[in-house]
Amino acid sequence: MLLAQPPESDNREEIKRWVADLVSPNYSKRELASEELKRLAGQSLDLVLGELETSDGEAHSRLLTLITDLATNPESPVSKPAYQGLAKLANRMTGAKSVQIKQIVESIRTEVAQLAWYRYKRKSKNNEIAFPSRSNPEYRPLNPIVIDATFTGTHEDLSELDQIDWVTFARLQGPTITRQHLEAVLKLPKLSHLQLVDVPLTSEDLMVIKQGPDLDILELQYVPIGDEIVEHLPSFPVWTEIWIYGTKISRAGLERAETMLGDVVLTYSRGAFLGVRCNSNDVTVEHVEPDSAADQSGIMEGDRIRSINGRRLFRFDDLREELGKFSDGEEVDVEYLRAGELIKTKVVLGRRKR
């Protein structure tokens, strides 16, 4: 037999009585009132917050203690709403009360942020410290967040990233990445540099970036997006540079995007990767990536790349620009000098590993 639920108005009257008993001179009544209000937290929170805003003296102190207890109890179903309610109150109120509540809110936020960070670190096995970027091949951000194949958690383990205010860089990489992972990372309030690498996200999935924080740099590497995203790029909150590498966006689409983006620098490439690093002033090879297209074709350190498909190269930027015209898997003719001897070879271009 189901018991009839009391009308909501009866519950509100009961809650008001418990609120009044919080300042009773009788200790037992005060304790019982506190316990009952916690038990009825789902129904009492809004009313208690309203009372807190207008109360003074001992009543204000006891109401504030009650809501703080709810906000700091991770097992309470109203923990987050209680914290959010306190934060809103702190912004609405003035004077000493506002200062007091702001201090409590900041203390709770710091504790929640630390717990969220430790939860992420327990689930992440990635120990990288350098994250190659278009502008800096040895970029070493402080406290990066990386979600990739080594991450053993779910997007639910990232649910409170919005409280972490010391992370500025995040990278999502690999086939396990979902839209929920992206939404979670975009809640980082100080995020300024976002890398998406080889992720199975569509243009529709990337629309959530519009609701994210202001970014300095957005990098999209081997993301399966096409010309359909071009018209949306100007509405992404990116203020310095967008790097698009190895996507299905056509050259015409990229040129149109470049015009639409105004002061935002758009750097793009179709994604072919030779696998060499050269002196910036010429094209003498300083390093060959193991198992790269260059390595497999026999190119070695000290070789000087002379041309690709007949186009003469003079600087490393010339090489980058020419490679940007090709996709991985395409074959090109490469000429290079080794100890004064001109060597010609065919190279099947590869894919950047990260």
pLDDT tens digit sequence for 10-59? 577 888 888 888 888 888 988 998 898 888 888 888 888 988 888 888 88
Q: Quote the pLDDT of residue 323.
A: 87
93-101 contact pairs (CB < 8 A, 24+)? 93/53, 97/60, 100/64, 101/64
**CA 122 to CA 118: how far, in whole Å?**
6
Q: Which amino acid is at 181?
A: H
Taking 3-state DSSP, the helix, strand and coil percentages for the chain, each rounded to the nearest 5, stand at 45, 20, 35
The residue extents of the domains of the chain are 8-111, 124-269, 273-351
Kindly state the average pLDDT of the residues 66-73.
Answer: 90
Tell me the Ramachandran region of residue 162: left when phi exceeds 0, alpha when psi lies from -120 to 50, beta otherwise. alpha
- The answer to whether the CB of 70 falls within 8 A of the CB of 82 is yes
> pLDDT exceeding 90 applies to what percent of the chain?
51
126-135 contact pairs (CB < 8 A, 24+)? 126/150, 126/151, 131/169, 131/171, 131/195, 132/354, 133/193, 133/195, 133/217, 133/219, 133/243, 134/217, 134/219, 134/241, 134/243, 134/245, 134/267, 135/217, 135/241
Question: Other CB atoms closer than 10 Å to residue 203's CB: what's the count?
Answer: 18
pLDDT over threshold 90, residue 236? yes
Place of tokens 């109360």: 55
pLDDT tens digit sequence for 248-261? 888 899 889 999 99
Q: Quote the pLDDT of residue 6.
A: 43
Q: Quote the pLDDT of residue 3.
A: 39
- The answer to whether the CB of 181 falls within 8 A of the CB of 204 is no
At the fourth CATH level, the homologous superfamily of domain 273-351 is PDZ domain (2.30.42.10)
**Banded pLDDT at 317 (limits 50, 70, 90):** confident
This prediction's pTM: 0.73
pLDDT over threshold 90, residue 103? yes
**CA 266 to CA 8: how far, in whole Å?**
57
pLDDT over threshold 70, residue 239? yes
Q: Quote the pLDDT of residue 138.
A: 64
Q: Quote the pLDDT of residue 248.
A: 87
Question: Other CB atoms closer than 10 Å to residue 74's CB: what's the count?
Answer: 10
CATH class of the domain whose range is 124-269: alpha beta
| Token pair in block for residue 307 | 């041309």
